[in-house]
Chain A
Amino acid sequence: MSLRNRELIPSFSRPPSRVMIRKVARYEEDLLALIYESLREFQLPIKDKTVLLKPNLVGLDPQGVMNTHPAVIAATRESFLKLGASRVLIGDGPAMDRDTYAILESVRLNEFTGKLGKDFCDLNIDDVERVQLETRATRLKELFLPKTVLGVDFLVSMPKLKTHHWAGVTLSLKNMFGIVPGSCYGWPKNVLHWAGIDRSILDINAAAHPDFAIVDGIMGMEGNGPIQGTPKAAGVLLLGNDPVAVDATACRVMGLLPERVEYLSRAGTMLGHVEASKIQQLGEAVDGVRTQFAVLPEFSRLVA
């Protein structure tokens, strides 16, 4: 039974969100132990459930700076299985290149996860279902979304910590652009650009409602992201049960003001918490891990 498309809860009646920051200097560290222990703290309701990990697979990336690192994806998958999930799928629908398997080969995902077979889902070509958009942040009345996304019990957004040349930052909420199927909307999913990127992010997240977020900030990207930016080591993983709160915290780690990221600010009114006072901070303190990320001049207003 799907948990997608749950009712929107106004910010004032939401319980505080929980976000954990973990210091991780390198991908070669014992990520499985670290992620498993971190997830245990959240006591997630995933026993015997199907979990979908939605990493950020943008393009060919042999250097490992653009996409969510496969070591993080594999360790997360293993952790959810250890925590009792019956099945952990991995799925994405890259926006610019329809050859999803070329991207998988370039990041060597199979080397980290083993052969995935049907446990990998190319969301660009999955069967789709019509979803009425309740939020109407855009003029779009409906979107066709992958049945796999709508059918899983627990959806985890797993972005890379990056700045973005159109949206300011791309984190767990923007990462959900990748669930919109290219086979219906193209490569890129240009309908969303015309509807407004910031507003589309709200509609998509309200419809798909990711349950959890894990941000790969071990190596991030600054400047002209999400593809052509500069690698920036931040040495962190962020995890949390509210993707809005995770993104807000990630902004603070990047030295940016989440309230000034248009879509994040609006998401704080209906999807989760942006205010630091409503986020219970676990693990490291933001001040201890802050790494200033450069942004394009158009987004200089975001710098704290």
Chain B
Amino acid sequence: MPSVAISVLKMQNPLDSSPTASELCGKTLRSECFSLLRELQNADGGWAFHNGEQSRVEPTCWALRALFASEPYANDQVFRKAARFLQTSQLEDGSWPATSQMSTGSWVTSLVCSVLSGDALSADYVKAGLKWICEDFPRDSSPLRRFVQSLRPKSATVSQNDSYRGWGWTPRTASWVEPTAFALMALQEAVPQQLPKNVVERRNLAVSLLYDRMCPGGGWNCGNPRVYGVDGDALVLATCWALLALRDAPEKAGRALSIEWLRKEFANTQSAGSLAVARMALQNYGIEPPQAERNLQDWTAEDLAEQGTHVLAWVCMALDPARHWPAVAVTNQKTSEGRAR
């Protein structure tokens, strides 16, 4: 259990008390974000990063996450159109490309598998995607490469355990924190019958990799905790995704340290995207985000859309207390071990 001091989230019954001005602002902003997100759906069912651009897999996944964060979606027209866009974007090998012009799969495969995991009409697509994920090993940690590395003098540039294996942003590169976290979350959310046989091994290796790549002071950056003997600085988004991915993993001291790093960092976080995702990550661990210099109401829905559909979607999700992913931990005990999903 994390040793950090935490304040406990109290589940508010709307009938118990009147909403505060801040809560009302949050509701208004969420409603505006929600409306704008719906408006931004392209005719092909997908979303672009910005209005008027071509539909892409990543913003489509985040928009779906936000629009259906707390509602049943299977028969909704918006969802079906978007699911169709995602289904037709899948490559023959089961992966999804970052953009429709690309012919190789990428990390967004994990996002699609997550967002379509509950959709019966997408089951075959998701199963193929999960198979691709479990068969996609990064090149930097192949047995041959590790053998060759073992014959060389120990590198002074980086310190990491190459026997752990996660996922890269693109195939046949190296393991990085964020794609590893997204793949882990996709595997966690999948229907068990859809999972390939090696899933347990992949999960264990990936969890070990995330812990191995943690920054010495807690938190994560892209995956370089120490370079040339200098400790790397953690980053908010990478830390959030890693913490969400490790929500169900065995507790290690580093996780509590990272939660505490994020809690402290939250107060100084200046961007809407990081504030939104950090809020969701902390709440997923049952921690009420502390007062911050900035809050999400500092931006309008249009400002957020300018930063990208993914940012608009994250804020929409962060302002939805009933979201089922990543869920707000329901707890009235002094613990951070709330409901994970």
> How distant is the Cα of A261 from the Cα of B58 in the complex, in angstroms?
38
Are B169 and A185 in contact, with the CB atoms below 8 A?
yes
Within 8 A of A (CB), among B293-317: 306-308, 310-311
- For the complex, count residues of B whose C-beta is within 8 A of A: 46
Name the segment of B38-46, B209-217, B222-230 touching the other chain.
B222-230
Within 8 A of B (CB), among A179-205: 183-188, 190-191, 193-194
Query: Of all chain A residues, which has the CB nearest B275?
Result: A102
Are B237 and A98 in contact, with the CB atoms below 8 A?
yes
Name the segment of B66-74, B266-274, B328-336 touching the other chain.
B266-274
Verify if B150 is at the interface (C-beta below 8 Å from A).
no
Q: From A102, A129, A184, A296, give the contact of B274 (CB < 8 A).
A: A102
> How distant is the Cα of A98 from the Cα of B310 in the complex, in angstroms?
11
> How distant is the Cα of A127 from the Cα of B227 in the complex, in angstroms?
33
Query: Of all chain A residues, which has the CB nearest B59?
Result: A125
Query: Of all chain B residues, which has the CB nearest A122?
Result: B308
- In which size bucket is the chain A interface? 35 or more
Verify if A130 is at the interface (C-beta below 8 Å from B).
yes
Are A144 and B170 in contact, with the CB atoms below 8 A?
no
> How distant is the Cα of A144 from the Cα of B233 in the complex, in angstroms?
30
Q: From B101, B169, B227, give the contact of A128 (CB < 8 A).
A: B101
Query: Of all chain B residues, which has the CB nearest A104?
Result: B271
Within 8 A of B (CB), among A261-292: none
CB distance from B45 to the nearest CB of A (A): 18
Verify if B339 is at the interface (C-beta below 8 Å from A).
no
Mark A residues whose CB is within 8 Å of B: 59-60, 96-102, 104-106, 117-118, 122, 125-130, 144, 165, 183-188, 190-191, 193-194, 224, 228, 296
A-B pair count, CB < 8 Å, reads 109
Are B139 and A194 in contact, with the CB atoms below 8 A?
yes
Are B169 and A101 in contact, with the CB atoms below 8 A?
no
Are A99 and B237 in contact, with the CB atoms below 8 A?
yes
> How distant is the Cα of A59 from the Cα of B308 in the complex, in angstroms?
19
Q: Which residues of chain B come closer than 8 Å to A130, judged between CB atoms?
A: 101
> How distant is the Cα of A122 from the Cα of B305 in the complex, in angstroms?
12
Q: From B48, B176, B235, give the contact of A186 (CB < 8 A).
A: B176
Verify if B236 is at the interface (C-beta below 8 Å from A).
yes
Q: Which residues of chain B come closer than 8 Å to A190, judged between CB atoms?
A: 168-170, 173-174, 176
Verify if B98 is at the interface (C-beta below 8 Å from A).
yes
The dominant DSSP class at the B interface is: loop
Q: From B222, B269, B274, give the contact of A188 (CB < 8 A).
A: B222
Assuming A99-B235, A186-B107, A190-B170, is B270 touching A224 (CB within 8 A)? no
Are B56 and A101 in contact, with the CB atoms below 8 A?
no
Are A101 and B272 in contact, with the CB atoms below 8 A?
yes
> How distant is the Cα of A100 from the Cα of B178 in the complex, in angstroms?
16
Are A96 and B306 in contact, with the CB atoms below 8 A?
no
Query: Of all chain A residues, which has the CB nearest B304?
Result: A101
> How distant is the Cα of A117 from the Cα of B98 in the complex, in angstroms?
25
CB distance from B115 to the nearest CB of A (A): 17
Q: Which residues of chain B come closer than 8 Å to A296, judged between CB atoms?
A: 228
Assuming A106-B270, A128-B101, A184-B102, is B228 touching A117 (CB within 8 A)? no
Verify if B110 is at the interface (C-beta below 8 Å from A).
no
Q: From A128, A185, A187, give the contact of B178 (CB < 8 A).
A: A187
Q: Which residues of chain A come closer than 8 Å to B58, judged between CB atoms?
A: 183
> How distant is the Cα of A130 from the Cα of B99 in the complex, in angstroms?
10
Show 12 A/B contacts (Cβ-Cβ < 8 Å), sorted by A. Answer: A99-B237, A100-B307, A101-B307, A101-B311, A125-B308, A165-B228, A183-B99, A184-B106, A186-B176, A187-B176, A191-B173, A194-B173
Verify if B201 is at the interface (C-beta below 8 Å from A).
no
CB distance from A269 to the nearest CB of B (A): 29
Are A128 and B99 in contact, with the CB atoms below 8 A?
yes
Verify if B35 is at the interface (C-beta below 8 Å from A).
no
CB distance from A60 to the nearest CB of B (A): 8
> How distant is the Cα of A134 from the Cα of B179 in the complex, in angstroms?
31
> How distant is the Cα of A281 from the Cα of B314 in the complex, in angstroms?
51
Q: Which residues of chain B come closer than 8 Å to A99, judged between CB atoms?
A: 235-237, 271, 273-274
Assuming A128-B101, A228-B230, is B269 touching A183 (CB within 8 A)? no
Query: Of all chain B residues, which has the CB nearest A103?
Result: B271
Query: Of all chain A residues, which has the CB nearest B232?
Result: A228
Within 8 A of A (CB), among B158-175: 168-170, 172-174
